[in-house]
Amino acid sequence: MSPTHRRPVPLSKAYRLLNHGPTVLVSAAHNGQRNIMAAAWAMPLDFEPPKVAVVLDKATWTRQLLEGAGTFVLQVPCAAQADLVQTVGNTTGTERDKFAAYGLHTFQGEYTDAPLLEGCVAWLECRLLPEPHNQQTYDLFLGEVVAAYADERVFSDGRWHFEGFDEL
């Protein structure tokens, strides 16, 4: 690349130069209530034990459920779920159960009460690692991954392999 093609990026958008990870769906359940939301800011944080970080705005219902339960699930949606990601990311669960409203099918994991959404290509069950300062100041939540699952058609040998699975 030559300096000729170099253009400044507004500092308010600089994060987009690094954030190439997938938008994830975050689900949580507490006291018989459940919710799911989209989160664009999620990332691996540590290897052993495996940890993740995700940003959840104070106004979200999922955050309240997560804080109450102390557990949550990150799931990686597939391309066929793009409209669903948009829908659950732009509606609130405080007034209705998004799972029922949108006919979402789920299954139970082994370690959390949070629903796991069918059709995704990966699921990470997480135990909240309380960090009150980060949670309140930065809306940043840390979780220890206690179980992880992936669709064997597109994830094997520790790598993603989407070739030939455009329908996912």
pLDDT digits over 101-134, tens only?
Answer: 999 999 999 999 999 999 999 999 999 999 999 9
* pLDDT exceeds cutoff 90 at 66: yes
| Alpha-carbon span 164 to 168, nearest angstrom | 9
Q: Are 63 and 76 in contact (CB under 8 A)?
A: no
Percent of the chain with pLDDT over 90: 74
pLDDT at 1 (0 to 100): 47
Give the fold, CATH level 3, of 20-152: Pnp Oxidase; Chain A (2.30.110)
Averaged over 8-17, what is the pLDDT?
74
Averaged over 142-166, what is the pLDDT?
88
* pLDDT exceeds cutoff 90 at 87: yes
Amino acid making up residue 38: A
Most confident range (mean pLDDT) of 3-7, 53-57, 93-97 is 53-57
Poorest-confidence range of 27-31, 49-53, 137-141, 152-156? 152-156
Domains of the chain, residue spans: 20-152
Q: What is the mean pLDDT of the chain?
A: 91
| Alpha-carbon span 102 to 92, nearest angstrom | 12
